[in-house]
């Protein structure tokens, strides 16, 4: 079965509409089909695209702009196409402050989710540090295992055993907020490709800082509306535990070239 043909039929798209390959898909293959976007991934787990659909729904429920899901199954996902427009980074600060409003829910997710193509387990907890260590960092360390020396693995074990994360309160987080997962549209900034869950806003802020692409005015706009404490700033910075999360994911997906950043973080505590 051709996944593209199947998804076009299932979503009710015009079979004669030409497909245009879109760049920027680091994990899936992405095409535009008229006013829709089709994403597929060879060998994807059966729940991979449904996890994305749940994440987009969670962002919508929190008031963030994200593409509407037109169809999803194990073969792929069909999304509303959002036309690009000029960046409005002032609006991004407003969007993120709205997304990160406190919620009366435990940390985590009732369903498994993915960071890139890496599976992360379901489960919830009222203890953020415990949840982050057991259901986020530990699974990524296991998936990075082929690239970790015994000495670095011991350092990581010690780091996790002593980790205490600052908490501001549970909120919805995008979970993988690098600049490639932000669209600038006529209606304002929109979020795509989430690893959405209930977490701490520092997780999103850390990913934004790790690879750049966001002007300092965004962080200033966020801080004006909700100050960022020194403890949270330390956790989201280049030696912080939240950046360790994303660096371990890159080790697992792309190999040992990302180990330098991991070592810099764990060397701080030995």
Alpha-helix runs per DSSP H in 47-201: 48-61, 89-99, 128-132, 138-144, 150-161
Closest to 56 in 3D by CA, of 198, 196, 207, 208:
196
Catalytic residue check, 176: yes
CA 159, CA 247: separation in Å to the nearest integer? Answer: 15
Spot the catalytic one: 2, 73, 127, 176. Answer: 176
* Burial of 270: CB neighbours in 10 Å, binned 0-12, 13-18, 19+: exposed
Q: How many CB atoms lie within 10 A of CB 181?
A: 18
Which token pair is 121?
Answer: 């387990």
Q: Cα–Cα distances in Å, from 212 out to 20, 39, 100, 177, 248?
A: 28, 25, 20, 10, 18
Q: Which residues are catalytic?
A: 176
């Amino acid at each position: 079965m051709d996944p593209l043909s199947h998804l076009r039929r299932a979503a009710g798209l015009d079979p004669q509409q030409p497909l245009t390959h879109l760049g920027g898909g680091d994990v899936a293959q992405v095409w535009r089909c008229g006013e829709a976007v089709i994403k597929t991934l060879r060998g994807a787990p059966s729940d991979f695209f449904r996890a994305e659909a749940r994440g987009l729904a969670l962002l919508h429920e929190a008031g963030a702009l994200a593409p509407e899901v037109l169809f999803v199954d194990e073969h792929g996902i069909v999304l509303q196409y959002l036309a690009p427009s000029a960046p409005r980074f002032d609006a991004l600060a407003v969007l993120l402050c709205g997304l990160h409003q406190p919620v009366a829910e435990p940390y985590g997710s009732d369903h498994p989710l993915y960071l890139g193509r890496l599976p992360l387990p379901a489960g919830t907890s009222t203890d953020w540090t415990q949840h982050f260590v057991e259901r986020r960092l530990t699974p990524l360390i296991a998936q990075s295992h082929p690239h970790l020396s015994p000495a670095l693995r011991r350092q990581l074990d010690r780091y996790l055993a002593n980790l205490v994360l600052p908490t501001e309160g549970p909120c919805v987080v995008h979970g993988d907020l690098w600049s490639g997962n932000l669209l600038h549209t006529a209606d304002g900034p929109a979020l795509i490709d989430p690893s959405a869950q209930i977490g701490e806003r520092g997780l999103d802020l850390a990913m934004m800082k790790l690879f750049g692409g966001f002007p300092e005015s965004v962080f200033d706009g966020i801080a004006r509306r909700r100050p960022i404490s020194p403890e949270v700033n330390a956790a989201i910075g280049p030696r912080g535990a939240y950046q360790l999360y994303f660096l371990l994911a890159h080790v697992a997906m792309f190999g040992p070239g990302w180990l330098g950043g991991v070592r810099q973080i764990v060397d701080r505590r030995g």
